Amino acid sequence: MGVVVVAAGSGRRLGADRPKAFVELAGVTLLEHALRGVVAAGVDEVAVVVPLDLVTQAEAVAAPLGAPTGPTMTVVAGGAERTDSVAAGLSVLSERVHLVLVHDAARCLTPAAVFDRVLAALERGAKGAIPGVPVVDTIKTVDPDGFITGTPSRDSLRAVQTPQGFRRDVLEEAHASGVSATDDAALVEALGHRVLVVEGDHRSLKITTPEDLAHAERLLRA
Ligand code: CTP
Ligand code: MG
């Protein structure tokens, strides 16, 4: 099984002096936290996707976590959109990889159990499986002027996370469509494939803002 860890974003909303994955949380970069989590999940191959000028720096982080005892690690430069970065990572996984997980480095505290649940669903035959948690807020859909157009039942809503797992052929087919999306499941859904939502975890938050970084620090200490 292969994992694409996408870490090539700039982290505009975090507003740090460097790309988000290279910001530290309790003295360790988000990238290293994320890679440790991926290695703990027991995967065969990892594609690490980072900004072009940080490839060498990322190799120094990835190498000690990789072979001979850990998974094969390949660092590659990402693209302008997240979808481009995922495609870059997919392209360096070996032919032997038939199941792929795509994981955001920004979700650097994802517990191993979440990886296990996604993988278990794929092994039971799902073409796609992604983690999600029930939403606590009431969600409204609105029109361009801000007027409410609907109130979906909370029971039918999930806030989804990564790692998102797919059969490799299905994910490659989705990426070949050339469409961009904020998650890979959206591309696979668009092809008409059924994607299962398995149980996520609140600790798997995506670090987006400085408040999220502070929250993650509290989670780490707890
Ligand atoms: N990502 C990526 N390549 C991009 C954009 C995003 O690899 N061109 C990755 C990010 O590094 C992150 C994940 O996709 O791990 C989720 O994206 P997001 O949280 O939006 O991160 P950024 O795009 O870096 O943040 P922002 O949108 O605030 O600039
Ligand atoms: Mg972004």
Domain that holds residue 80: 2-221
* Strand ranges inside the chain, DSSP E: 2-6, 24-25, 28-29, 45-50, 72-77, 99-104, 128-134, 141-142, 148-150, 158-160, 164-167, 195-199
Kindly give the distance from the C-alpha atom of residue 124 to the centroid of ligand 1, in angstroms, as a whole number.
30
In the prediction, which pLDDT does 222 show?
Answer: 86
In the prediction, which pLDDT does 118 show?
Answer: 98
Comparing C-alpha atoms, which of 80, 96, 60 is closest to residue 12?
A: 80
The answer to whether the CB of 50 is under 6 A from ligand 1 is no
Whether residue 128 contacts residue 188, with contact meaning beta carbons closer than 8 Å, is answered with yes
Whether residue 49 contacts residue 6, with contact meaning beta carbons closer than 8 Å, is answered with yes
Ligand in closest contact with the CA of 161? 1
Q: Quick one: how far is CA 103 from the chain centroid? A: 2
* CATH of residue 174: 3.90.550.10
| Mean pLDDT, residues 150-162 taken together | 97
Distances (CA, A) of 58 to 65, 96, 125, 188: 11, 24, 34, 29
How far apart are the C-alpha atoms of 2 and 4, rounded to whole Å?
7
The answer to whether the CB of 26 is under 6 A from ligand 1 is no
The answer to whether the CB of 30 is under 6 A from ligand 1 is no
Rounded to 5 degrees, φ, ψ at 52 are -50, -45
| Mean pLDDT, residues 34-58 taken together | 97
Residue pLDDT, tens place only, 93-144:
999 999 999 999 999 999 999 999 999 999 999 999 999 999 999 999 999 9
Kindly give the distance from the C-alpha atom of residue 187 to the centroid of ligand 2, in angstroms, as a whole number.
17
In the prediction, which pLDDT does 181 show?
Answer: 86
How far apart are the C-alpha atoms of 83 and 88, rounded to whole Å?
9
Q: Ligand 1, atom 7: nearest CA belongs to which residue?
A: 8
How far apart are the C-alpha atoms of 40 and 113, rounded to whole Å?
10
Fill in the amino acid letter for 68.
P
* Overall size of the chain counted in residues: 222
Residue pLDDT, tens place only, 183-222:
999 999 999 999 999 999 999 999 999 999 999 999 999 8
In the prediction, which pLDDT does 178 show?
Answer: 82
The answer to whether the CB of 130 is under 6 A from ligand 1 is no
In the prediction, which pLDDT does 182 show?
Answer: 86
In the prediction, which pLDDT does 91 show?
Answer: 97
Q: Full-prediction pTM beyond 0.85? A: yes
The answer to whether the CB of 81 is under 6 A from ligand 1 is yes
Q: Which atom of ligand 1 is nearest to the CA of 9?
A: 24
Residue pLDDT, tens place only, 15-26:
999 999 999 999
How many domains is the chain partitioned into structurally? 1
